[in-house]
Amino acid sequence: MRRMWPEEFSFILDGAEQVTLESAARQREDGSHSEAIHRQALKVRLSQADYERIWPLAEARYRLQGHFAGKAITLIVNNPHYSQWHPADGGTVESVSDSGRPYSTRYVVVHFLLDDVRETVEA
């Protein structure tokens, strides 16, 4: 099934930073070795409210359109292989509304795995 990233959330990727997730191979507690990680990803800082809206889309692969056409993303939330890139505190911004009332906006930093989408073409 080809899932497309919902257009209503396309604004979330507007300020995304392309990064490479890197982690050396490690020895686990049971003595086995994990593989090294070298993956392209998008790093995004978004409001807690927006994160809560996209959370149900986590751990599924979505194809992108527009600037990232030909790519697919997967929101990392609880995959143990990527635990160091799980959502993290992105800070709080204090603001004042037009009416003069102070309010706070909480932010979260998330990572999306970024993959090339390869289409098979029939000859």
Q: Tell me the one-letter amino acid at 43.
A: K
pLDDT tens-place string over residues 65-116: 888 889 999 999 988 878 888 999 999 999 999 999 999 999 999 999 999 9
pTM of this structure: 0.82
With a CB cutoff of 8 Å and minimum separation 6, the contacts of 75 are 54, 55, 57, 58, 59, 60, 110, 111, 112
With a CB cutoff of 8 Å and minimum separation 6, the contacts of 114 are 18, 39, 40, 41, 42, 68, 71, 72, 73
- Other beta carbons less than 10 A from residue 23's beta carbon: 16
pLDDT tens-place string over residues 1-26: 689 999 999 999 998 999 999 887 77
pLDDT tens-place string over residues 59-69: 999 999 888 88
